[in-house]
Each structure stands twice: as C-alpha cells, then as structure tokens.
Amino acid sequence: MTTHVTTDNPVRSDVSTLTPRPAGASRSWAFAGIGAGLAGIGTIVSSSMIDAVYDKSLFGDPQGMADKLADQTPQILAFHVFTVVGALLLVVFAAGLFRRLRDGLGDRSAAPLVAFGGLLGTAVVAVIGSGLDTEFVFGIGADEQMIEPVNAVMFNHWTGTIPWCWVLAGLAGLATFTASRAGAVPRWIGRTGLVLGGLTVVIGVSPAQYMAGATGPLLVLVAALGFALGDRAYRS
C-alpha cells in the first residue's frame, strides 16, 4: 500500500495571507457617518441657540440668565438629542473607517487606529458635553431653589464650549489623507481630510479650540458621503 503525504511550504512563512474582501461590502458604517456629521451640525446649531450667557443685555445678571435658560428648554432638549445620537453614530463610523483603512493599508499601518481613536475620542467628548443636560433642563424651571443662578450660567458656558471640541476628529481626516497617499482610498477624500482635518487640528490647538466644532462635523459628513457614494473601486 502506498501512502501520499502532501505538504505546503510557502516561500515566506512569516507573511500572512490576506483574506480577500467580500464583494458588495456593506456601506452602513458610511451612512452612519453621514448621520453623525448631520447630527454634529445639529449639535452646533442647537448649542448656539442656548444663548442666555451671550445676551449682552443680561451681562452681570445671573438670575436673568437663569430665567432665560428656563425658557430655552426646547433648545436644550434638541441639543441633547442631536449630541447623543451623533456620538452613537460616530462610534459606528469610527469602526467602519478603521476596517476600511486597514483593508487598504494592512495591519502594520497606524493610520486606521489613529482614525478610530480620533473619532471615538470625539464621541466621548460629545457625551460628556451633554452630560449636564438632564440636571439643568428639568431643574432650572421646575424649582428655583434647586439650581443656583450662577450654576445655570456655568451650564450655558459648558454647552457653548465642550460639545464644540472636535479637535480629535481632525486626526481621522489626516489619517485618511495618509491612506490616500498610499492609494488605499480615493485621492479627493484624502485631500478633503487633509484640508478639513488639518484645519480642525490647528484650530483645536489654538486658544479658540471650540471653533473646531465648525469644521469637525463637516469633515465627518464629507468623508462619509465620499465613502458611501464615491468609493466604487473598493466595493466592486
């Protein structure tokens, strides 16, 4: 009786074989990014409408500011919903972007992890930025003794700054640009990441860091649209 034994001896045993990406890869993560970008814009707009501390006629009048905040409950509720929903969607987008960049760059590149960390950190900041909402939205108008006017003023300053700190999202844009230079993503998406991501980081480093909220959500929205609608070569 003859026995045949088949062995497989690759030329490079230290090199792993990449599994080909399945055809028709899901774009749900990219659409989540579109939602995150739109929700981020909603956060900025609704936050701007909570404006008691920016009313010049109330400067030096904490009680007047607290009274005005009590009349802005709808704006505070809208701000809370936009911010938390946006944070949840941003985590989904971060995970999808990590996988997309890793597929193009391989496991050794740091860019996918940098992009994921930047977006995840932004989501955490957003949740923290909305963390005082329940305490104040139900406390300012319901019981005048529950919330001190000076604390209400602090709350308004909080909603006007912390949710605008999108600096970490800029890292995702720069990571996408790095991937585009390697041919892993479309060049126009990478260039958009360089411009908007770089601007977001520069603004975030400056003393006016909260203004990163004006460019960060736009970066996420445009990048997500690009991956959802314009990344055909990867999906085909």
Model confidence pLDDT, tens digit, residues 173-231: 999 999 999 999 999 999 999 999 999 999 999 998 989 999 999 999 999 999 999 88
User: Is 209 among the domain residues?
Assistant: yes
Range of the domain at 226: 28-235
**Model pTM?**
0.85
Check: CB of residue 116 under 8 Å from CB of residue 98.
yes
- How many domains does the structure of the chain reveal? 1
What backbone phi and psi angles, to 5 degrees, belong to 7?
-120, 155
User: Is 171 among the domain residues?
Assistant: yes
User: Is 6 among the domain residues?
Assistant: no
User: Is 4 among the domain residues?
Assistant: no
User: Is 214 among the domain residues?
Assistant: yes
Which class for 83: exposed (0-12), middle (13-18), buried (19 or more C-beta within 10 A)? buried
pLDDT tens digits, 11-26: 544 443 334 455 456 8
User: Is 40 among the domain residues?
Assistant: yes
User: Is 33 among the domain residues?
Assistant: yes
Residue 22 vs residue 97, higher pLDDT: 97
User: Is 15 among the domain residues?
Assistant: no
pLDDT tens digits, 151-175: 999 999 999 999 999 999 999 999 9
